[in-house]
Structure 1
Amino acid sequence: MRGARIAVLTGAGVSTDSGIPDYRGEGAPVRTPMTVQRFLATEEARKRYWAGSHLGWRHFGSARPNAGHLALASLEAAGAVAGVVTQNVDGLHRRAGSRHVVELHGGMDRVVCLDCGQHYARQAIAEELTLLNPGIDLEKSVRQAPDGDVVVDDDVESMVIPVCTVCGGILKPDVVFFGEFVPAPTFQAAASLVAGADVFLVAGSSLIVNSGVRLIEQARRRKLPIIVVNRGVTKGDSRAAVKIDAGASETLTAFAEALGS
């Protein structure tokens, strides 16, 4: 890694030290994720999703970058890291100071209209949800889940969800739901970052998601040294020149110290 341009891919394991649950690691909650097909199918599904997402945003939106995020930002500032591709939707890399960040799966701090494409700040939508639903008390029956969501067990029939102020269309967090594809321009930006690197570093990802596998395969074809940092087995272990079975925060911090950033 010394003297090399490093492209980084991060997953949920980078954010667990910020209090955001993992999907698949030890102790991760068992859940049935919202698919885009269910979200679009019925208003009841959208109400249940927004109820959970709204409650989860209070915790998710207050999460702070941890030592791993800060180490990567420091490495970028020192010229060692060319950029970060992340599978996370928490925005913590940007908030830590990383400037070249490709968010493969979007960001929970943004909301988009599925009909006209208008974008909104998530906080503005959160405030509107609170105003529209002053009497609903859902917090007594929730279960925390990853990505700022919680699972709501209460009836959500009376919940009112905002619509687009431009066209009246359906609003959705600007993230890639299960059943959706990563937008082609986004993946191309990630692939370009890997193409210009000398080393490919994977941190905190089990590489179960196809977009991560495609990037590590691109690195393998280019004969880049691949370093994998993750607690437990990943789908990239057989391709890695080095596998470090350890936490992301402490390992990335050690990298930053060793590389003099």
Structure 2
Amino acid sequence: MQKIETLASWIEQSETIVFFGGAGTSTESGIPDFRSAAGLYQTEQHSPYPPELMLSRSFFVKMPDIFFDFYRGKMLHPDAKPNGCHHLLAKLEEQGKVKAVVTQNIDGLHQKAGSKEVLELHGSVHRNYCMGCKQFFGLEQVMASKHLVPRCPYCQGIIKPDVVLYEEPLDQQVLISSMDAIANADLLLVGGTSLTVHPAAELVSYFEGERSVLLNMDPTPYDRKASLIINDKIGEVMDQVGKLLGF
């Protein structure tokens, strides 16, 4: 409880907070992560194709039917709801304290909770574009497609989710904006990430402030640099922090 009280105190004292998060931010919302014991990379080990391969650009191009079968079945969670972490960050943004949420997630839960300054390093399932005519399609339209591989009704091109696949570069403007936000923060909250996916994981090195908090169930490469470490469920922790802050 003392660590949670310290975190609440630091949030009260801070004016420029940035949150950097990964898949663990959404596990309490029912969306599995990738690398934990219950994550996709473990539970899909008996598949003929490993998830890392199926989520690559080259596999998408060569076998879009298998890609979309996996993507629709494992990556889309339209009914998932934000948890305590998403809600507290949105409330702190309303207060002017949280300046940006930098996320590796593609689920859109931060926006669903009310956050507006969200930098999506790996894109979003809610944005989809025709590879032919570049027409935009929402998630609902993709899910409603009668075909396994969604096709554009205008040119019959394949509709690709606006998510960064393996072998694809990150959006440079999103990357630069994330660097700037983290570099200018007086409190960095890092949550639900193993900090092993590069180049995203390297972003925490841009933090120049004195206080950084790591909220993760398992140890990470950033542990020795963090000012405060809380190894517990991030949604529950942020719920408690919110209560201490009067939310």
TM-score (norm: length of structure 1): 0.80
Two-structure CA RMSD over aligned residues (Å): 1.9
Offset at 1:49?
1.3
Aligned to 2:107: 90
Partner AA of 2:30 in structure 1: G
Change (3 A) 1:79 1:258: farther
Change (3 A) 1:260 1:6: farther
Q: Note if 1:106 corresponds to 2:123.
A: yes
Name which of structure 1's ranges 83-92 and 188-197 shifts more when overlaid on structure 2. Answer: 188-197
Give yes or no for contact 2:18–2:99 (8 Å, CA) kept in 1: yes
Partners of 2:105 and 2:166 in 1: how far apart? 14
Offset at 1:245?
1.0
Match among 165, 175, 179 for residue 163 of structure 2: 175
Offset at 1:75?
1.6
Offset at 1:239?
1.5
SS in 2 for 1:174: strand
Give yes or no for contact 2:59–2:67 (8 Å, CA) kept in 1: no
Offset at 1:171?
2.1
SS in 2 for 1:201: strand
SS in 2 for 1:60: coil
Aligned to 2:6: none
Match among 6, 13, 17 for residue 6 of structure 1: 17
Partner AA of 2:67 in structure 1: Y
Aligned to 2:229: 243
Change (3 A) 1:228 1:163: same
Offset at 1:61?
0.7
Partners of 2:159 and 2:204 in 1: how far apart? 33
Give yes or no for contact 2:149–2:158 (8 Å, CA) kept in 1: no
SS in 2 for 1:210: coil
SS in 2 for 1:27: coil
Aligned to 2:58: 37
SS in 1 for 2:34: coil
Partners of 2:198 and 2:244 in 1: how far apart? 32
Aligned to 1:217: 205
Aligned to 2:94: 77
Match among 116, 119, 124 for residue 136 of structure 2: 119
Aligned to 2:29: 18
Aligned to 2:81: 64
Q: How does 1:151-170 map to 2 (within 5 A)?
A: 161-170=149-158
Partners of 1:164 and 1:231 in 2: how far apart? 41
Offset at 1:16?
0.7
Offset at 1:74?
1.4
Partner AA of 1:3 in structure 2: Q
How high is the sequence identity, in percent, across the aligned residues?
Answer: 33
Size of the aligned set, in residue pairs, is 226
Partners of 1:35 and 1:257 in 2: how far apart? 42
Give yes or no for contact 1:47–1:161 (8 Å, CA) kept in 2: yes
Runs of at least 4 residues of structure 1 off by over 6 A? none
Offset at 1:170?
3.0
Give yes or no for contact 2:185–2:209 (8 Å, CA) kept in 1: no
Give yes or no for contact 1:11–1:204 (8 Å, CA) kept in 2: yes
Give yes or no for contact 2:121–2:200 (8 Å, CA) kept in 1: no
Offset at 1:15?
0.6
Give yes or no for contact 1:113–1:172 (8 Å, CA) kept in 2: yes
Give yes or no for contact 2:25–2:191 (8 Å, CA) kept in 1: yes
Where structure 1 has 5 or more consecutive residues not aligned to the other structure, the ranges are 133-159
Write the deviation string for residues 147-184 of structure 1: whole angstroms up to 9, x where unpaired.
Answer: xxxxxxxxxxxxx5233344443321110112222110
